[in-house]
Amino acid sequence: MTVMHAVDRDQWAGADWPLGASVDPATGLTTVAVYAPAATRVVLERYAAALGHPAEESVGLARGADGVWRGRVAGLGHGALYAFRCWGRNWPYDPAWTPGSGVGFRSDIDPDGNRFNPNKVLFDPYAREVTHAPMDPALRDRGGDGGFWGTGGDDYHGRPRREADTGLWAPKGVVVVDDTGYGHRPRLPAHKAAVYEAHVKNLTMHPSSARLGELLDDMPGFEDVVDIPDALRGTFRAAGLMAPYLKGLGFTTLELLPVQQTDSDDVGDSQGGHNHWGYMTMAFFAPNRDYSADKSPGGPTREFKEMIRAFHDAGLEVYIDVVHNHTAEGGAWHGDPATTGYTSLGGFAAGEYYVMTAGHIPVDGATGTANQVDYSSGAACDLVIDSLTYWTDVMGVDGFRFDLAPVLGRTPLAWRPDDWADQRRFFPQHPLLEAIARLGEDKQVEVIAEAWDLWGYEVGNFPPGWAEWNGRYRDAVRRYAKGDGDVQTFSAMVNGDYHHFADQGGPQRSINFVTAHDGFTLMDLVSYNTKQNDQPYPFGPSDGGTDANDSWDSGGDPGLRRARWRNFWVLLFFSRGVPMVVSGDEYGRTQNGNNNPWALNTVGMWNNWAQTASHVPTRLPVDPRNPAAFAYHDVVGQTVAPEGTNPLFVFAAHVTRIRQRDPGLRQRNWGGLVFDSGDVTYLFRRPDLQDWPAPGDRAVSLAIDGSPVGGHTYLVMINMNDHRQEFRVPGTDGSWKRIIDTAPWAEHHFNCWAPAEATVIGEGTYVAGPWSVVVLQGERSHRAGDGPGFADTDRFHYAS
């Protein structure tokens, strides 16, 4: 192996090489750069192995005027493992220091909150790959107890904890040189999107994925779906093989839970117990090695890009969930500011990257996760933009969803550290939020906020260019669909939430959802009154989870549950805005009522694809390898469908494809004041069509006129009463065809009909069953200014 050695040292201090490790293809030399402005010495180390071996060579770096330490070396090419050690004012360099000693120590914290400790080996925050996570079971298997990560003076095996050296244990950066292509971006307009949220591992880890193509072989539109090879289950490569499935289902976009390297003890299909969802990001440029079938150096990078290419080749896009509000490094151990366990950012510049109290204790108020990133810091803002740019330009990602995004709009250093009222303030014009919006516009990628955190609810308050998960939509639709009668809020949300999104570029900025990864599945939403998190493996136990679910168990009636499940699906895909569902909802997936399985990497949480092809999906074995071991709660029951057919799945695909085909249901503008005014009008009326809905009305008619844009006209009759409801059906120039009725009577027809096979409904009345939604499809044109039999109005109904 080539020995690492310095090259052109006299140029280092004045260089402007980018952060991270970059190999020059012409010379084979590697530049390294890391931001540590308060450090007094930074040393680069090369390692022969990730675990169990000390550094083989080291090179001291040079500090530039910008606070970046740089060097150029030979012998650090593709696949090389590297890391750093840092000294600072609290621990000045002493030539007598050796790994594991306290020589030079003055204090655990400097006056600015930095925690320099040369015994704590640090991986590069800009590393393109990382060898392993601190929680990796391989450390435990080698005798590691995790106590060595900490600083401070607590006793650790007879010595101060700060002196425990982590060189044998610490994650190392991996130098990556890779030119794998990610295909051609579809660049789909945002308003045409339909988003499918999924976890890389949960998507294909279940043994049933090995039969996916076989299971869907007879289902129209799924002819290209393939079986997932056993060796690939739960990986990026397997996710790429799911592109034909999403396309057949009618979705345009896969939104993945965090894919960046996370700190978790899950490995493959083993249940570790921590951070299965991945919201403890430790490396913002590195794909999660555990999600890659190819774990060789560069393998995760290559495999991720190949997954992206598979979706791009199918005309689909991929968004990723990014966690920039906090990191996996945690905060003060047991409340002691001197004791932290930093492995990267905090070891280089804790005072720059993290919000702290006046006593230098990391703050977690808005995140609840032991630390919070400080976006008063230019370095923290640069890290976000640099990471997004890398995942866009190099990895091929088409969009980003930002976890607890209000944190990115706060300015902690503008206020006294313990002034919590001001610390909570959110600024829509924060430079970072505006920079992200510009990046989205310039690179034609979507940027989406989870617009709330523990300090505030900011839905509708992000700057133009941002889309947002619309929690108001979720709450209003859930409540109305269980009979609360707040028709004004419900209609406002179905109409795209004009009040909150009119200044953000259009209704496509509202990401409409009823369920997501955190919370009940759609079938559980209609099957449980309260969360069921304290249950045994594989459906629990789980901590946390909200008690405010707006759920109803449908009186324990499986037929009503299925009808209400269909109601939600129809309302979501006929609402103005961008629909999003969570993976598995399309076939009635249940978590047995667990609404927060964030740490469960279990067969009960993986997508059981056998349920897509069963008329009794929740009576199937949870684990086909051990059928008697576990059981689903039979919340779906026995459906009225042929054996081997899941009517929920058939219905979901049918409704999703209606939106995919009809431009009137995919608009970037709100409607005008009257029908045929050149745009798509959503008009709400009482069932008799004579007036606006009144407060408390649990039944409402919605007319959608898509004819000006080449779409259809729809009459959506929504009855959330517990009794049958008569609706007026107006006359038209043509005729109405019943294409959807969610009531139990129609389940043997799959509750949906193609227009060519649909029953013609003439002018008069239609009686909708209790807790049902009926959709009639009309002709494509009406007389200008004349709705389909609705009473005249002088304004459009924008409920608020």
pLDDT band at 408 (very low <50, low <70, confident <90, very high): very high
Q: What are the φ/ψ torsions at residue 31 (nearest 5 degrees)?
A: -100, 145
Inter-axis angle of helices 471-480 and 487-494, to 10 degrees? 130
Report the C-alpha gap between 228 and 237 in whole angstroms: 9
Report the C-alpha gap between 508 and 524 in whole angstroms: 27
CA distances from 464 to 397, 504, 506, 509, 587 (A): 21, 4, 10, 9, 36
CA distances from 431 to 115, 250, 408 (A): 28, 37, 9
Exposure class string for 757-778: b at 16+ Cβ within 10 A, else e? ebeebeeeebebbbbbbbbbbb
DSSP string spanning 186-240? Answer: ----GGG--EEEE-HHHHH-SGGGGGHHHHTTTSTT-TT--PPPGGGTTSHHHHH
Quote the pLDDT of residue 678: 77
Structure tokens at 461: 């308050």
What is the pLDDT of the chain when averaged over all its residues? 95
Supply the DSSP symbol for 778. -
Quote the pLDDT of residue 370: 86
Report the C-alpha gap between 262 and 282 in whole angstroms: 5
Residue whose C-alpha is closest to residue 97's, from 118, 83, 116, 82: 118
Give the rounded percent of residues in the chain with a pLDDT score beyond 90.
94
Q: Is 403 a catalytic residue?
A: yes
Judged by average pLDDT, the poorest of 343-352, 460-469, 697-706, 733-742 is 733-742
The mean pLDDT of 360-367, rounded to a whole number, is: 93
Quote the pLDDT of residue 787: 47
Q: Dump pLDDT digits (tens) for 229-261.
A: 999 999 999 999 999 999 999 999 999 999 999
Quote the pLDDT of residue 731: 87
Q: Are 730 and 714 in contact (CB under 8 A)?
A: no
CA angle 194, 600, 211 (to 5 degrees): 60
Report the C-alpha gap between 307 and 299 in whole angstroms: 12
Report the C-alpha gap between 281 and 270 in whole angstroms: 20
Q: Residue 209: exposed, middle, or buried by beta-carbon count in 10 A (0-12, 13-18, 19+)?
A: buried
Residue whose C-alpha is closest to residue 400's, from 376, 353, 435: 435
Q: What percentage of the chain's residues is helix, strand, coil (to nearest 5)?
A: 25, 20, 55
Strand partners, 444: none
Quote the pLDDT of residue 780: 56
Quote the pLDDT of residue 735: 86
Q: State which amino acid sits at residue 586.
A: E
Q: Are 303 and 236 in contact (CB under 8 A)?
A: yes
Q: What pairing do the DSSP bridges indicate for beta strands 772-777 and 736-741? A: antiparallel
Q: Are 137 and 268 in contact (CB under 8 A)?
A: no
Exposure class string for 622-646: b at 16+ Cβ within 10 A, else e? bbeeeeeebebbebbbebbbeeebb
Residue 426 has pLDDT above 50, yes or no: yes
Q: State which amino acid sits at residue 684.
A: F
Report the C-alpha gap between 394 and 226 in whole angstroms: 28
CA neighbours within 13 Å on the CB side: how many for 516?
23
Q: Residue 398: exposed, middle, or buried by beta-carbon count in 10 A (0-12, 13-18, 19+)?
A: buried
pLDDT band at 2 (very low <50, low <70, confident <90, very high): confident
Q: Is 726 a catalytic residue?
A: no
Q: Dump pLDDT digits (tens) for 655-689.
A: 999 999 999 999 999 987 667 667 899 999 999 99
Residue 424 has pLDDT above 70, yes or no: yes
Report the C-alpha gap between 582 and 203 in whole angstroms: 11
Give the rounded percent of residues in the chain with a pLDDT score beyond 70.
96
**Number of residues in the chain:** 800
Q: Dump pLDDT digits (tens) for 761-771.
A: 999 999 999 99
Given 266, 403, 662, 747, which residue is catalytic? Answer: 403
**Sequence-ordered list of residues with C-beta below 8 angstroms from that of 661, at least 6 positions apart, any chain:** none
Sign of torsion over alpha carbons 285, 291, 292, 295: positive
**Sequence-ordered list of residues with C-beta below 8 angstroms from that of 514, at least 6 positions apart, any chain:** 474, 477, 478, 522, 525, 568, 571, 572, 581
Quote the pLDDT of residue 480: 98
Q: What pairing do the DSSP bridges indicate for beta strands 68-74 and 159-160? A: unpaired
Q: Are 201 and 256 in contact (CB under 8 A)?
A: no
Q: Are 785 and 675 in contact (CB under 8 A)?
A: yes
Q: Provide the whole-model pTM.
A: 0.97
Classify 439 as helix, strand or coil: helix
Residue whose C-alpha is closest to residue 214's, from 222, 206, 202: 222
Report the C-alpha gap between 775 and 717 in whole angstroms: 6
In the numeric block, the tokens 């945002």 are attached to 190
Q: What pairing do the DSSP bridges indicate for beta strands 725-729 and 446-449? A: unpaired
pLDDT band at 782 (very low <50, low <70, confident <90, very high): very low
Q: Dump pLDDT digits (tens) for 105-144.
A: 999 999 999 999 999 999 999 999 999 999 999 999 999 9
Q: Are 386 and 324 in contact (CB under 8 A)?
A: no
Element (H, E) at 390: helix 378-393
Given 136, 450, 524, 662, which residue is catalytic? Answer: 450
CA distances from 573 to 161, 194, 649, 708 (A): 56, 9, 15, 20
Quote the pLDDT of residue 673: 61
